[in-house]
Chain A
Amino acid sequence: MWKKIKSWPLLLPVVALILVMAVNIIHDAATGANPLSFFMISLRDTTTSGTILYGRIVDIINRGSEVAILAIGMTLVVSASAGTDISVGSVMSLCASFMCMMLAGYGVSSTTTLAVPLVIGLVAAIVMGIVCGAFNGTLVAHLSIQPMVATLILYSAARAIGLLLCNDLIVYVRNPSFAYFGAFTGPIPTPIIITVICIVIVSLVLRKTALGMYIQSVGINAKASRIAGLNSKLLIFLAYTLCGLFAAIAGIVASSRITSADSNNIGLYLEMDAILSVALGGNSLGGGKFNLAGSIIGAYTIQAITTTLYALGVSSIQAPVFKAVIVILIVVIEAPPFKAFVSKLSAANAAKGVRA
């Protein structure tokens, strides 16, 4: 039984999530609040969006949407190419800027009416994301450039191009139809719905077709997969393109939330969170086997950690210290040399017991 639990791939993210919840419960109990207030979900009437779901969990799942969407693409990229796409945050910002530029018209900094139909803006953002992803994919798959260097180009350029597109302004699109993607559908926050749709589609595709297996096999050994008849290059290219697509969707959500394209701040450091969710989800950053569910739980765990830190009174600029400590703890526990050391220790202890 213990062995079964130990080999469960979701052990790490689930344990981390439970720990975060425990901290919340202890904190609530210590401050005299209802210990279970973390889990409370209630309906609340607001003047702006009608009756909505309210609660800390809802907030975490809502705020964690962008990271969760990014984590889907990042998981595929890490699995297929044994590298990370560090450009997703910048690409998010570029897509958002491009979309808002289309919706508002070039050089307009604030508008309530849309210059083009909303659909065109959304399609523009998604096409931009796919183009960026394809650019990264071409560099990695066809020119065999290390993923980090290849994506470093868009990491520094995409945000800057977004600024150029917006004429160095923050473009506000104050239109209810645009704000919908960051607001509420009935009582449920729309970002949650978008995330669920993304996850369902991707997991269906991975389950029903052999794509998931192909990507894993390329990640485990690209050469062997090619000899076995898989088009390794195409699969790696596809993973990066999908990653770009999801970055675009995350960008749409992020920019709709604030009804503007703030090139300098949308998606800032989100690539780090996305990579972290993949690692936290028990996936090896060395490529190969992946576990999408792990990455998603990892993404929400990170958001839960962030929200918890805020609840504990840590300011947003100081929170990274705790994140760093958590990351180091997790990777050290997961590191093979550490595991070997621990099992050696326990073996030595057992030997001592036998001798006595």
Chain B
Amino acid sequence: MSDKAKAKKSFNSNTLLLFITIVLFAVLYAGGCIAYGSKGFTHFQTFLNILITNAGLICVTCGMTCVMLTGGIDISVGALIAMDCMLLAVGMKNGMGAVPMVLIILLIGAVFGIFQGFLVGYLEIQPFIVSMAGMFFCRGMTAVICTDQVSITQEINPVFYAWANAKVIVPFGGYINNKGKYMAPYVRPGVIVALLVLVITFIMLRYTKFGRSLYAVGGSAQSAAMMGLNVKRIKMGAYMLSSFLCSVGGICYCLNTMAGSVSQATGLEMDAISSAVIGGTLLTGGVGNVIGSFFGVLINGTISSIVKTNGKLASSWPNILTAALLFVFIVIQSIFAAIRERNK
């Protein structure tokens, strides 16, 4: 087999995975529409609600995908979001403005990421251990800042409150409710931010030098170094990006919850990882893209939305279903890997 044909083949099996993910999302969503059509599942707004609830997760998953492309992992994201929300809430309660607080949060995210990235890239410590320490640190720091739940109300910060309650009307897909009134579908500003992050990350991964070098480092760090890439700096960059995007996600998350509390966003890191894996990103690095991860998030969101609409299923079902999906996907991935190995 010529090199070109080989490249095409491996490209195909990756696109096939992405295709399966998208089809699965469509099937799940269609299933939800058929089963719960009478409960309003067919409305366009239901889809937008999935986006609204998961805006933060989309940002986090984009960052997580970049880290996973280099063959690393960042499990500190959930705790970092909790710390971000707590800082936002406490900062605003003490009279800080919304814009300075957001900038501070983004700065903290970047600095935190640089620190983690330094430990992983330059000191060659296992990513899992570094980000686990990061997770402990952020979760504990959240409690050090404040142990109680702090809410952001209109009196505390009208600007942030206005952001959270702003509706961005979508010009299509509305419906007329049973009182004969036209209900225009809407999204929250967080969704716009999340989609922007998604598009920018997609472009960055595909067309910029940094994005492409992430794939190179994940494919083989040794070859990348021989090619003249600064592997250490690229790894550090990936972690910085992850924590930064996580902070962006934290702000989106906070716009949804409007509160800071110690137990917020527990287990979010696992949601992000499973979304990325369902979307076709390999934990060994070098394979994956954010579009797949985006659909991974949508699949997770659809499952919880279906369980919520049903109303009778136990609250633990989304976890079990997501885990079952994850199982199916990694088995498919490993079968593909085996086939590729055999064709070599």
| Interface residues in chain A, defined as those with a beta carbon under 8 Å from any beta carbon in chain B | 84, 139, 143-146, 148-150, 152-157, 159-161, 163-164, 168, 272, 275-276, 279, 285-286, 315, 317-325, 327-328, 331-332, 335-338
Contact A315 B147 (CB under 8 A): yes
B73 at the interface (CB under 8 A from A): yes
Residues 116-139 of B, flagged 1 when their CB comes within 8 A of A and 0 if not, give 000100111110111011111101
- Contact partners of B323 in chain A: CB under 8 A: 153-154, 156-157, 160
Query: Contact between A153 and B132 (Cβ–Cβ < 8 Å)?
Result: no
Asked whether, in the complex, the Cβ of B124 is within 8 Å of the Cβ of A335, the reply is: yes
Q: Is the CB of A321 within 8 A of B129?
A: no
With A149-B330, A315-B143: A160-B317 Cβ-Cβ less than 8 Å:
yes
**Extra A-B contacts (20), CB below 8 Å, given A332-B125, A338-B123:** A148-B73, A152-B277, A153-B323, A153-B326, A153-B330, A154-B323, A156-B270, A157-B323, A157-B324, A160-B319, A272-B132, A275-B128, A279-B129, A321-B143, A323-B136, A323-B140, A325-B137, A327-B133, A331-B126, A332-B119
Tell me if B15 counts as interface (CB < 8 A to partner A).
no
Report yes or no: B330 in contact with A150, Cβ–Cβ below 8 A: yes
- Knowing A143-B331, A148-B283, A318-B140, the reply to whether A275 touches B132 (Cβ < 8 A) is yes
The 6 closest A-B pairs by CB, nearest first: A321-B140, A157-B323, A320-B140, A160-B316, A324-B137, A160-B319
Give chain B residues whose Cβ lies under 8 Å from the Cβ of A320: 136-137, 139-140, 143
Report the Cα distance A315→B144, complex, angstroms. 9
Query: Quick check: A153 and B327 within 8 Å, CB to CB?
Result: yes
Is A337 touching B128 in the complex (CB atoms < 8 A)?
no
Cross-interface CB contact of B141 among A152, A153, A155, A321, cutoff 8 Å: A321
Cβ A335 vs Cβ B125 within 8 A? yes
Q: Which of B202-227 contact A (CB under 8 A)?
A: none
Question: Nearest Cβ distance between residue B210 and chain A, in whole angstroms?
Answer: 23
Which positions in B face A, CB cutoff 8 Å? 73, 119, 122-126, 128-130, 132-137, 139-141, 143-144, 147, 262, 267, 270, 273-274, 277, 283-284, 314-317, 319-320, 322-324, 326-327, 330-331, 333-334, 337-338
Q: Are B262 and A321 in contact, with the CB atoms below 8 A?
A: no
Considering the chains assembled together, what is the distance between the CA atoms of A331 and B136 in angstroms?
A: 15
Residues of A within 8 A of B338 (CB): 144
Contact A155 B137 (CB under 8 A): no
User: Which of chain B's residues have a CB closer than 8 A to the CB of A331?
Assistant: 119, 123, 125-126, 129-130, 133
A-B contact pairs, 28 of them (CB 8 A): A143-B330, A143-B334, A144-B334, A149-B326, A149-B330, A152-B270, A155-B270, A156-B323, A157-B320, A159-B316, A160-B320, A164-B316, A164-B317, A285-B126, A320-B136, A321-B136, A321-B143, A323-B140, A324-B137, A327-B129, A327-B133, A328-B119, A328-B130, A331-B133, A332-B123, A332-B125, A336-B124, A337-B124
Complex CA distance for A59 and B54, rounded to whole angstroms: 44
Q: How far is the CA of A29 from the CA of B283 in the complex (A)?
A: 50
B115: nearest chain-A partner, CB-CB: A328
Indicate if the CB atoms of B147 and A324 lie closer than 8 Å: no
